[in-house]
Structure 1
C-alpha cells in the first residue's frame, strides 16, 4: 500500500537543504495526525511537495500556519544547471500542479508562510491567491565572530559587557522548566501561551533524538534564572525558536547574552543564524541591532467560495 506521508518522511530526511520546519518528523511533532502532504512525482522521483497542517471546526476546513513553525510551504527540487528562465518555468509547472491538488481538497481557507528561498509566487497570484510580505533576519556568515561582534550595534555590545559581568550562561535546563520561563513572557503581556507543554515535549523529544536542539539560560550569583532560549537547527541554519524571561530581571540584558550564545553556536556548527523575525516594531529593532540581513518571505492565502468550492478565491485584505 502506498504511504504518501511515509514516502515524504523518507524524502525529507534525504533532502539536506530542506528547512527543519518542513521535515516529516517535525510535522509529526507539531501536528500529530492533523497533517498531510502533496507530492509531485516524475519518473518515481519527488520533484515538488507541500506539507500542510489541516483543521476542521464547525464545518470550516482549512490549511493554516503551524504553531512554532516559521515556514512550510512549497518545496521544489531543481534539476542541475538550469537557466534562469527555465528555472522559472520549472517553478510554474510544479506550483500549478500543487495548486491543482490544494484546490481538490475541498477546503474553505488556505494560509501558509513560504521559506524565504521561495521568491517567486506568481503562479499562486495567477490562480487567485493573495500575498503579504513578512520578514525574518538572518546572519548568513557566522564564521568570524570578531567581525560579527564589531557589526553589532553599540548598544548590543554595551549590554553584552554588562550581562557578561553579572550572569552565567548554563545549558542544563529541562524542557518543563523552559516552558515555565517561556510562559512568563506571555503572562507579562496578558496573552495565553499558544501551545501546550505536551507539544513542547514532543518537539523537544524529536529534536533531542536527532541532536538538533539546545536550551541556554542565564543565572546570577544567587542562582536566580533571568531568561532562557530554545534553539533548533537543520543542515543550514540555527533558529531562535522560543525564549522566556522573568519580568523581575528584564534590565539585566540576559536575552541579549543568550542570543549571542546562539550566534556562537551557529559559528561552531558552521551554520547561518535565523532570528525567525517578527513584525512587531520593538522586536524587529532589537533583532536588527545584531547586524543581520533582512529576508522577506511570503504569506500566501486564499479564502474559497464555501457555497461552490470550484477553486475561485476571494482575495482578502489581510491574513487569515
Structure 2
C-alpha cells in the first residue's frame, strides 16, 4: 500500500442559507452540500423541504435549466448523486416505511413541472418506491465500492492479477505525490484534453471552481504520479464526506505508464481505508471502464435512477432513439 503523509481530516459543512439539512439520515453526501450545489449549478438550485413541528425531517435539492426547447431538472456537472435526505424514525419496519413514503411524497409534490426530471440516488437509498408510486420511472445504475472495514491486505488479495501487475510495474517507475495544487491539476487536465482535441465536458469554469473549493475546504485532494525527471504523467481528484471517498476526476498523458491511474487509485483506496471511509469508484459508462474498474475487486453496488418525462419530450426522445444507431451498452450506468 502506498502511504501518503497527510493528516488532514475530512470536512462536511452544512448548508447554511437555503435550509439546514436533515443530517441524521446517512444519505446526505458531499453532493448535497450547499457550497457544492452553489458552484455546480452557478446558484441555480432550490431545496424542497418537509417540516414537522418546525423541525426539518426531509429535504431534496434540485435544479432547473433550459436545454434548447426543454425545461429540465437533471444532475449538475460533477454531481454524481442527489435524491431525498430523510430523518429516520424509530419503531417497526412498517412505521419507518410509511414515514419514508410520506416524507418523500411531500418532497415530490414540491418538485417543479418540467419536460425532463432525472436524478441518480445515493447508493444508500435502497428503494425508490415513493417515486414509482408518483409516476416516475425507476431504473438501476451501478458503481463499485470498497467496504471501509476492509484491510489493505484483503483488498490487495481481491485485485485481479492484471491489476496487481500493472500497479507493481507502475510503482517501480512512478512516484505518487499528494497535494497537487488545483492550478497544476487543471493545467495538466486541459493540456491532455487539447492533445486529444477534446473539450471539457463539465465546463471549464464550473470544474475550476469546484476543484479549488474542495481542496480549500479539505473535502478532497489531488494526487499526481510523476515519472523520471519529475514529469507529471497522471493525476486524479478525490472528494469525501463523512461516509465515503469518491473517485471524481482523472487525467493522464498519452505516453503515461499504462498502470499510472491504477497506481493512483490504489493509493486513494489506502487513504480511504485509513480514514475508515467507503471507497466509491463512482460508476461507469462503458464496457471498457467496467472492465478496468472490475479489476479492483470491489463490490458492485446499485444506484437507483428516477426519471419523469413530459409527453412531448418523451415522444421526441423515442423518435430520436429509433432513428439513431443502436447501442450495445446503455450509457451513464
Which band: TM-score by shorter chain?
Answer: 0.7 to 0.9
Partner residue of 1:310?
none
Partner residue of 2:267?
261
Question: Could you tell me whether the CA contact under 8 Å between 1:135 and 1:297 is conserved in 2?
Answer: yes
- Residue pairs, 1:2-41, within 5 angstroms: 6=16, 8-11=18-21, 18-41=28-51
State the Cα distance separating 1:52 from its structure 2 match.
Answer: 1.1
Give me the whole-angstrom Cα distance separating, in 2, the residues matched to 1:292 and 1:233.
18
Report which stretch shifted further, 89-98 or 202-211. 202-211
Q: Does 1:109 align with 2:116?
A: yes
Identify unmatched segments of 5+ residues in structure 2: 1-14, 319-329
Give me the whole-angstrom Cα distance separating, in 1, the residues matched to 2:213 and 2:206.
11
Give me the whole-angstrom Cα distance separating, in 1, the residues matched to 2:244 and 2:256.
30
Residues 77-98 of structure 1: CA distance to partner in whole angstroms, max 9, x if unpaired? 111x332222221221112112
**Partner SS for 1:226:** strand
Give me the whole-angstrom Cα distance separating, in 2, the residues matched to 1:119 and 1:185.
38
Give me the whole-angstrom Cα distance separating, in 2, the residues matched to 1:275 and 1:151.
15
Q: Find the partner of 1:65 among 71, 75, 78.
A: 75
State the Cα distance separating 1:69 from its structure 2 match.
Answer: 0.8
Q: Does 1:85 align with 2:91?
A: no
Question: Could you tell me whether the CA contact under 8 Å between 1:186 and 1:193 is conserved in 2?
Answer: yes
Question: Could you tell me whether the CA contact under 8 Å between 1:9 and 1:23 is conserved in 2?
Answer: no
Question: Could you tell me whether the CA contact under 8 Å between 2:25 and 2:85 is conserved in 1?
Answer: no
Partner residue of 1:97?
106
Partner residue of 1:55?
65
Alignment CA distance shift 1:244-1:319 (3 Å): closer
Partner residue of 2:299?
293
Question: Could you tell me whether the CA contact under 8 Å between 2:234 and 2:251 is conserved in 1?
Answer: yes
Q: TM-score scaled by structure 2? A: 0.83
Question: Could you tell me whether the CA contact under 8 Å between 1:228 and 1:255 is conserved in 2?
Answer: yes
Q: TM-score scaled by structure 1? A: 0.87
Q: Find the partner of 2:278 among 272, 282, 290.
A: 272
Give me the whole-angstrom Cα distance separating, in 2, the residues matched to 1:270 and 1:180.
32
State the Cα distance separating 1:123 from its structure 2 match.
Answer: 2.0
Q: Find the partner of 1:194 among 196, 201, 212.
A: 201
State the Cα distance separating 1:100 from its structure 2 match.
Answer: 1.2
State the Cα distance separating 1:25 from its structure 2 match.
Answer: 1.6
State the Cα distance separating 1:173 from its structure 2 match.
Answer: 2.3
Tell me the C-alpha RMSD between the 2 structures.
2.7
**Which segments of structure 1 move beyond 6 Å, counting only runs of 4 or more?**
12-16, 313-320
